[in-house]
Amino acid sequence: MRHQQTLETSSFLSGIGLHSGNPGSIAIHPAPVNTGVVFVKHIADQIQSCPANITFLGQTDHCTTLQVGEFDIQTVEHVLSALAGLEVDNAYVELLGSEIPAADGSSTPFVDMIYQSGVLIQEEPRKYLKIVQPITVEDGPRSISVLPSALPQITYFIDFPHPLIQQQEYHHFCTPHEYGKNIAGARTFAFQKEVEFLWSRGLGLGGSLHNTVVFAETGLVNDDDLRFSDECVRHKVLDLIGDLSLLGIPVIGHFIAKCAGHALHTQLVQAIIHNPDKWIMLNAGETGKGGILNEKSSFNSTICLPELQPAFHAL
Ligand SMILES: [Zn+2]
């Protein structure tokens, strides 16, 4: 039986936010069972918290933002992707500043934080949401679906009119090993012609060749090579894993995305919540063919804000 997991100890990272350009730091701390992932921030003398849950979704323009009142966190998807990709269910992500550090544009620095801390198996079984009927959201030619599947997996297609990208397809079996090896290292990418437009809108101000793969008209602006020939589609898988974690529970299903992005990813999360006849809840170890727990009625997209631990400390 699979159990919930948290971290053995806390770990820390500092850097520049990709969109704001402001310095920021995060600490990832252990959390009790059934906490989920919760962002916390010290505002004046108070600690404010924001669960990594779709209920608190802010704007999804080029990055995924969470919002509770004046507590606003930009670019949550890469750290969430690392936590979900390595199957860490419960963690507090403490934030100094308004944006998660961009680090190198991939989720490897967050994966390294988790590996440094160590993953701790907890006493409570893991729960899963198992898809039993397809759910699809579309926006013109862009779409994302989730289909019934025995194992969690993702197939992603992208199509960019650039000689180094064009059509790419990647298939990912969702295991921590596959994630660390094939997904975590894929960096954020952008097109040179778009960069000035982003800047004019106050986005991408912390973007640099240290944290973004920038495509010029025909080649790369960066001096270093791509980490994978299909790095772009792998980064889309990375983003999708982070955005899907806003459901607050791992999903057993086959996600198929075509030219999607943060907006469609999060719309699919909403569609899953609004279609409870298309999934069932399972405890770890159950197959879905018997002994199914009928817990739909207890599933709620709004989770309670947890009590913060007294030992929780400011950076
Ligand atoms: Zn991303």
Q: What is the pLDDT of residue 121?
A: 97
Do 212 and 95 share a domain, yes or no?
no
Q: Is residue 75 part of a domain?
A: yes
Cβ atoms of 30 and 121 closer than 8 Å: no
Q: What is the whole-number distance in angstroms between the Cα of residue 236 and the centre of ligand 1?
A: 7
Indicate the DSSP class of residue 246: G
CA of 239 from ligand 1 middle (Å) equals 5
| pLDDT score, position 287 | 52
CA 92 / ligand 1 centre spacing (Å): 21
The number of domains in the chain is: 2
Contact 57, 276 (CB under 8 A): no
Give me the domain span that covers residue 269: 128-298
| Residue 1 Cα to ligand 1 middle (Å) | 32
Based on the fold, state whether residues 292 and 148 are members of the same structural domain: yes
pLDDT confidence band for 300 (50 / 70 / 90)? very low
Residue 151 has pLDDT above 80, yes or no: yes
Q: What is the per-residue pLDDT across 19-50, written as a single tens digit (0 to 9) for each? A: 778 888 999 999 999 999 999 988 777 888 99
pLDDT of 60 above 80: no
Residues 132 and 206 in one domain: yes
Q: Are 159 and 240 found together in one domain?
A: yes
* Average pLDDT of span 241-252: 96
Looking at residue 19, its pLDDT comes to 78
Residue 268: pLDDT band (50, 70, 90) is very high
Q: Is 249 within the bounds of a domain?
A: yes
Predicted local confidence at residue 277, as pLDDT: 97
| In the block, residue with structure tokens 């701390």 | 29
Q: What is the pLDDT of residue 301?
A: 29
In this structure, what is the dihedral angle of CA atoms 63, 64, 65, 66, given to the nearest 10 degrees?
-170
Residues 51-61: what's their mean pLDDT?
88
The pLDDT value given to residue 40: 92
Position with higher pLDDT, 16 vs 201: 16
10 vs 183: CA distance, rounded Å: 23
Q: Is the pLDDT of residue 133 over 70?
A: yes
Q: What phi, psi does 112 have (nearest 5°)? A: -65, -40
Residue 119's pLDDT is what? Answer: 97
The residue type at 172: H
Q: What is the mean pLDDT of the chain?
A: 87
Q: Is 70 exceeded by the pLDDT of residue 312?
A: no
Q: What's the confidence (pLDDT) of residue 311?
A: 32
Which one has a higher pLDDT value, 306 or 177?
Answer: 177
Q: Summarize the confidence of residues 213-238 as an average pLDDT.
A: 93
Alpha-helical segments (H) within the chain: 77-85, 108-117, 176-178, 192-200, 231-244, 262-274
Sign of CA dihedral 190, 99, 17, 185: negative
| pLDDT for 314 | 38
The C-alpha atoms of residue 205 and residue 103 are separated, in whole angstroms, by 14
Same domain for 286 and 146: yes
Out of 43-57, 77-91, 248-262, pick the least confident.
Answer: 43-57
**Is the per-residue pLDDT at 313 higher than 70?**
no
291 and 166 together in one domain: yes
Same domain, 164 and 117: no
Looking at residues 156-172, what average pLDDT do you find?
A: 95
Q: Please report the pLDDT score of residue 183 as a whole number.
A: 98
Report the CATH number at residue 40.
3.30.230.20
Q: Which amino acid is at 111?
A: V
CB atoms within 10 A of CB 64: 26
Q: Determine the distance separating the centroid of ligand 1 and the alpha carbon of 151, expressed in angstroms.
A: 24
CA of 286 to the centre of ligand 1 (A): 33
| Gap from CA of 283 to ligand 1 centroid (Å) | 31
Answer for the pair 260, 143: CB distance below 8 angstroms, yes or no: yes
How many Å lie between the centroid of ligand 1 and the Cα of residue 294? Answer: 35
Of the candidates 29, 78, 235, 262, the residue annotated as catalytic is 262
pLDDT of residue 209: 86
Same domain, 135 and 115: no
- What secondary structure letter does DSSP report for 202? T
210 classed as catalytic: no
> For 227, which DSSP code?
S
For 301, the 3-state DSSP assignment is coil
> Is 76 inside a domain boundary?
yes
**pLDDT tops 70 at residue 310:** no
Mean pLDDT, to the nearest integer, of 273-300?
61
User: How far is ligand 1, taken at its centre, from the CA of residue 262, in Å?
Assistant: 9
**Model pLDDT for residues 103-127, shown as the tens digit of each residue:** 999 999 999 999 999 999 999 999 9
